[in-house]
């Protein structure tokens, strides 16, 4: 008789056999299924969510570069917003939830201009992420700060 039979009372032998069979199935699930699900979630994150941040950074960068190209604040803000919106449209971003903002303290040579871009990505079609993110909308935000061109000697205020 083995030591395991001695340690288990006779009335509980059928119970322990069922428990031992269940341990094999739970071990297989733990070793095979859980890492597989984690890999699938990582692939979804890398392909959907991470790549969706690139258009936000691109739009904010384009906005900032267009804004700093003039010494007139009204022209700079208008150019920046137009460049940001054009970049979002060029990347096929749904702009119904998007915003492009240009902020500055003073519009003089060498001063900072900040462009902020934000939008939400609809995740309702991805079943793995369904329910993990409230409202099935993942917010994307980017902010780029550049200085107004300090060395353009031919600039004149209109």
pLDDT, averaged across the chain: 79
> Does residue 22 form part of some domain?
yes
State how far the Cα of 53 lies from the Cα of 83, in Å rounded to an integer.
17
Same domain, 65 and 120: yes
Distance set, CA 26 to CA 8, 12, 21, 92, 101 (Å): 22, 21, 9, 45, 53
> Does residue 126 form part of some domain?
yes
Structural domain total, the chain:
2
State how far the Cα of 150 lies from the Cα of 110, in Å rounded to an integer.
5
> Does residue 38 form part of some domain?
yes
Q: What is the pLDDT of residues 57-88, one digit of tens each?
A: 999 999 999 998 888 889 999 999 999 999 99
pTM summary value: 0.65
Same domain, 39 and 72: no
Do residues 62 and 144 make contact, with C-beta atoms less than 8 angstroms apart?
no
Distance set, CA 42 to CA 97, 126, 127, 156 (Å): 26, 13, 14, 53
Q: What is the pLDDT of residues 11-22, one digit of tens each?
A: 666 666 665 555
> Does residue 35 form part of some domain?
yes
Owning domain of residue 33: 9-47
């Amino acid at each position: 008789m083995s030591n395991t039979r001695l340690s288990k009372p006779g009335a509980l032998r059928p119970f322990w056999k069922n428990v031992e069979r269940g341990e094999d199935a739970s071990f297989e699930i733990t070793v095979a299924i859980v890492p597989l699900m984690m890999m699938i979630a990582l692939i979804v994150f890398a392909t959907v969510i991470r790549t969706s941040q690139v258009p936000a950074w691109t739009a904010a960068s384009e906005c900032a570069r267009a804004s700093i190209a003039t010494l007139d604040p009204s022209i700079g803000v208008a150019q920046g917003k137009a460049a940001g919106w054009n970049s979002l449209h060029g990347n096929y971003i749904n702009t119904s939830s998007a915003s492009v903002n240009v902020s500055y303290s003073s519009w003089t040579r060498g001063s900072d201009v900040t462009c902020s871009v934000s939008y939400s990505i609809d995740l309702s079609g991805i079943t793995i992420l369904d329910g993990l993110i409230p409202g099935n909308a993942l917010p994307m935000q980017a902010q780029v700060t550049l200085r107004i061109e300090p060395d353009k000697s031919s600039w004149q205020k209109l």
